Amino acid sequence: MAGEAFESVETQRVGRLYDESYALVDVSVTFRARTVTALLGPNGAGKSTLMGMLSTALRPSEGKVLYGGYEYPENDPTLRARIGYLGHRPMLYSELSATENLAFFARLHGVGPEAVAHWLGRVGLTRAADRPVSGFSRGMAQRLALARALLSSPSLLLLDEPFTGLDPEGVRLTKSLVAERRDAGAIVVLVTHDLAVTDDLATAAVVLRGGRLAYAGPSGGDLAGLYRDHAEAREKRAS
Amino acid sequence: MNFWPTVALVWSKDIRVELRSKDTLVTLVLFALVLTMVFTFGFASDPQTNLRVFPSVMWACVLFCGTLGVGRTFAREARDGAFTALVLSPAHRGAILTAKTLVNLVLTLIVTALTTPILAVMLRVDLTDVLGLVAGQLFLGAAGFALVGTPLAVMAVNARFAEVLLPMVVFPLVAPILIAGVTGTAAILGTIPENDPRPWFQLMLGFDLVYLVGGQFLFDKMVTE
């Protein structure tokens, strides 16, 4: 199992209880390899909770998550080694330079030091390599965070709002790196509110509404339409 | 990556970050100096009284500085989300805990090494002949604080009122270390009838081992919400 790419990641009736209310209820969905899946929904729909479960940071209160058809033991490092996660925050050390940050995470992931310069170049930060991250703009930090997530060539790439703070060039770069990872066989799950930017990247979509699954299937190249039909429509029905 | 190389990697990263920001060390040193002054001016009296209050004052400094230090263990990493990246890496989580514990131990020892001589001078307590024994006790005590406080500091990452919550949990757990420390130091200084400090050393060592095993067992479960 270790080292092989996952063909799928599947949640089976997962739920997550916070205090006395559910953030996610009975969600069963499959994310497939070589596919970018857009995870959509309004604020509070449970997107970050689902991402947290997929990343192993959150434990499901109910149900289970299967990686490549296999339920890994809790806190299995071989599973964590195969997941790349880009969250809301940059998840970097602001006192360290870009090189030091990537070198640290490269060693934790067992990736050779040559990958550090490679990824700094790929995200266009070679000239800023020795500057502390505290002096980076939001966009530069986001690029470096993307490099950190991609450093270990993960089988499952989880991106939570990856386009935040990026200029058009940064958006183009991020999309090309994500597409590259997808073409290499990875499962990519991408949370975004920037639907127009993601339209040509995501071929599948999952829509959550109020912690429940509202839609799972092909995106049809129209994420805004899917969002309107499944997230907003439910909201109107509820009201 | 194996256990000890991971410990070395995380420890050296934390020390490098601390040396650049200096925020925890500066905060701890300033806090320790203020405590030292307050205790000194509050308790300074005749030499016999000074000798009797010295163990309590010294260990009170360890208690407050140790608690302040462990409370900041994950604060910086949590702020930028780097803590999540760290625990989601394939690194052995026991190694992460060990590295963090060693960082806290070093910081507490630095502050203790600064405050204890100042307290001794201000309260006119001569530690020359018992320096090794007192240092040994302080080491075991600081280790106990780090071993208890570091895994529990994970709670402070996401908890509301973490500054209140952490001491409420840590203080009862370190009570055995404190009792053994105060009584053991009093035994070393000869201010109590039972002047053999060895049982207190053994008690501290025993609790340190319990905390070591307990922390390693629980940390893995605590970082997954």
- What does the pLDDT look like over A216-237, one tens digit per residue? 888 877 788 878 877 775 555 5
The answer on A232 and A172 residing in a single domain is yes
Confidence label for B193 from pLDDT (cuts 50, 70 and 90): confident
The answer on A17 and A78 residing in a single domain is yes
Q: Could you read off the pLDDT of A29-65 as tens digits, one per residue?
A: 999 999 999 999 988 889 999 999 999 999 999 999 9
**DSSP 8-state assignment for residue A229:** I
| pLDDT over 90 (residue B36) | no
Q: Could you read off the pLDDT of A108-148 as tens digits, one per residue?
A: 999 999 999 999 999 999 999 999 999 999 999 999 999 99
Residue A58 belongs to a domain: yes
The answer on A161 and A77 residing in a single domain is yes
Residue A3 belongs to a domain: no
Closest-CA distance of chain B to residue A221, Å: 32
Q: What is the distance between the alpha carbons of residues B9 and A103, in angstroms, rounded to a whole number?
A: 10
Confidence label for A178 from pLDDT (cuts 50, 70 and 90): very high
Burial of A37 (0-12, 13-18, 19+ CB in 10 A): buried
Residue A88 belongs to a domain: no
Pairing of strands A156-160, A83-86: parallel
Interface check B80 vs A, CB under 8 A = yes
C-beta of residue B116 within 8 angstroms of C-beta of residue B123: no
Q: What is the pLDDT of residue A230?
A: 79
The answer on A119 and A19 residing in a single domain is no
Query: Which 3 state secondary structure label does DSSP give B146?
Result: helix
The answer on A55 and A17 residing in a single domain is yes
Work out how many domains chain A is built from and give that number. Answer: 2
Interface check B77 vs A, CB under 8 A = yes
Residue of A57, A93, A110 with shortest CB distance to B1: A110
Query: Which 3 state secondary structure label does DSSP give A84?
Result: strand
Interface check B93 vs A, CB under 8 A = yes
Residue of B9, B17, B92 with shortest CB distance to A96: B17
Query: Which 3 state secondary structure label does DSSP give A96?
Result: coil
Residue A2 belongs to a domain: no
Q: Does ipTM exceed 0.90?
A: no
Residue A194 belongs to a domain: yes
What is the count of residue pairs from A and B with beta carbons less than 8 Å apart?
82
The answer on A19 and A136 residing in a single domain is no
| pLDDT over 80 (residue B221) | no
Interface check B160 vs A, CB under 8 A = no
pTM of this structure: 0.89
Looking at every residue in chain A, the average pLDDT score rounds to 90
The answer on A209 and A147 residing in a single domain is no
pLDDT above 70: percentage of residues in chain A? 96
Q: Could you read off the pLDDT of B20-35 as tens digits, one per residue?
A: 988 888 888 888 889 8
| pLDDT over 80 (residue B225) | no
Inter-chain residue contact B6 with A108, CB threshold 8 Å: yes
Of B202, B203, B201, which is closest to residue B176 (Cα–Cα)?
A: B203
**Which of A120, A136, A153 delimits the end of a domain?**
A153
Inter-chain residue contact A108 with B90, CB threshold 8 Å: yes
More confident residue, B43 or A207: A207
More confident residue, B1 or B7: B7
Confidence label for A191 from pLDDT (cuts 50, 70 and 90): very high
The answer on A116 and A22 residing in a single domain is no
Tell me the residue range of the domain where A212 lies. 8-82+155-238
Q: What is the pLDDT of residue B73?
A: 73
Closest-CA distance of chain B to residue A78, Å: 6
B90 contacts in A (CB within 8 Å)?
Answer: 77-78, 80-81, 108-110
CATH of residue A167 = 3.40.50.300
Closest-CA distance of chain A to residue B15, Å: 11
| pLDDT over 60 (residue A239) | no
Residue of B17, B20, B91 with shortest CB distance to A108: B91
Q: What is the pLDDT of residue A1?
A: 47
Work out how many domains chain B is built from and give that number. Answer: 1
C-beta of residue B102 within 8 angstroms of C-beta of residue B11: yes
The answer on A44 and A110 residing in a single domain is no
| pLDDT over 80 (residue A88) | yes
Residue A122 belongs to a domain: yes
The answer on A166 and A56 residing in a single domain is yes
Tell me the residue range of the domain where B124 lies. 3-222
Closest-CA distance of chain B to residue A92, Å: 5
Residue A222 belongs to a domain: yes
Q: What is the distance between the alpha carbons of residues A73 and A50, in angstroms, rounded to a whole number?
A: 18
For B200-221, what is the mean pLDDT? Answer: 91
Inter-chain residue contact A95 with B89, CB threshold 8 Å: no
